[in-house]
């Protein structure tokens, strides 16, 4: 009886060459699996580290009020030679030299002060704020070389009482307050309007002063100091 013919397979998975390719494929798959595991592990560690940092930041207490007040006072001290002047006409493409000469003329005509251009820092005379329209006149920020010249201009601001510019806005010389001090001064003005204090102003040293209902003068460093 004749035996059945054996079928010849084109691909035998049990041959030596096929086993080598299987091993290589398994190694490649093994490397990919471990690479993915390593990436996931590294990312997980990084995510855990970031989460721990966020937790520590949330658990860290805020700085004491005295510290924040000291930082605000230090920032205000860096502005002690600066003033903000409102009411100086503005033109397009205004240069620093033009701003300096406009400030000098403003002080001479409106305040009666003989101020020289050398008294103003050449790099610190410019407009601040956003220009709302083509005819808007922004505030001029001016930094003086010496505090004495700045004080002369600041104390002469009372001569501007009742004077207005060509847009019928009051002429003002203001202290260059920090954002925090602006917030405190705004709160003091609100307290004055509600009758909680009699008056409030900013003195020559950029300190916010108030007069209480019993005529007592007081310097405030934060909103909590208001009655």
Give the CATH number of the domain where residue 155 resides. Answer: 3.30.70.1820
Taking only the tens place, the pLDDT of each residue in 22-46 is 555 555 555 556 566 555 555 666 6
CA 11 to chain centre: 73
Range of the domain at 144: 75-175
Give the pLDDT score at 21: 46
Q: Where among 175, 191, 214 does a domain terminate?
A: 175
59 domain residue, yes or no: no
11 domain residue, yes or no: no
Q: Where among 175, 192, 215 does a domain terminate?
A: 175
202 domain residue, yes or no: yes
Q: Tell whether 200 and 221 lie within a shared domain.
A: yes
42 domain residue, yes or no: no
Stated pTM of the model: 0.68
Q: Tell whether 185 and 167 lie within a shared domain.
A: no
Above 90 in pLDDT, residue 10?
no
| All residues at 6 or more sequence positions from 80 whose CB lies less than 8 Å from its CB, including other chains | 147, 150, 205, 206
Instruction: State how far the Cα of 201 lies from the Cα of 219, in Å rounded to an integer.
Output: 10
Above 60 in pLDDT, residue 82?
yes
Instruction: Return the closest-CA partner of residue 124 out of 97, 161, 152.
Output: 97
The number of domains in the chain is: 2
Instruction: Return the closest-CA partner of residue 162 out of 170, 174, 154.
Output: 170
141 domain residue, yes or no: yes
Q: Tell whether 193 and 160 lie within a shared domain.
A: no
69 domain residue, yes or no: no
17 domain residue, yes or no: no
Q: For residue 210, count other CB atoms closer than 10 A to its CB.
A: 22
Taking only the tens place, the pLDDT of each residue in 57-68 is 556 665 667 778
Give the pLDDT score at 208: 96
Taking only the tens place, the pLDDT of each residue in 92-126 is 889 999 999 999 999 999 999 999 999 999 888 99
């Amino acid at each position: 009886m004749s035996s059945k013919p054996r079928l010849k397979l084109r691909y035998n998975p049990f041959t030596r060459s096929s086993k080598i390719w299987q091993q290589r494929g398994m190694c490649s798959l093994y490397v990919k699996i471990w690479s993915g595991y390593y990436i996931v592990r590294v990312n997980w560690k990084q995510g855990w580290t970031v989460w721990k940092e966020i937790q520590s930041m949330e658990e860290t207490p805020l700085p004491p009020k005295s510290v924040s007040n000291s930082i605000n006072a230090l920032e205000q001290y860096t502005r002690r030679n600066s003033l903000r002047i409102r009411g100086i006409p503005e033109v397009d493409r205004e240069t620093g030299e033009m701003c300096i000469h406009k400030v000098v003329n403003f002080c001479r005509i409106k305040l009666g002060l003989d101020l020289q251009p050398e008294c103003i820092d050449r790099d610190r005379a410019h407009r601040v704020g956003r220009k709302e329209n083509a005819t808007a006149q922004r505030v001029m920020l001016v930094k003086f070389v010496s505090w004495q010249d700045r004080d002369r201009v600041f104390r002469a601001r009372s001569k501007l009482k009742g004077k207005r510019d060509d847009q019928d806005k009051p002429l003002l010389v203001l202290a260059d307050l920090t954002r925090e001090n602006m917030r405190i001064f705004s709160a003091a003005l609100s307290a004055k309007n509600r009758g909680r204090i009699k008056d409030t102003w900013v003195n020559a040293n950029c300190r916010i002063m108030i007069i209480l209902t019993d005529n007592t003068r007081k310097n405030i460093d934060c909103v909590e100091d208001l009655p």
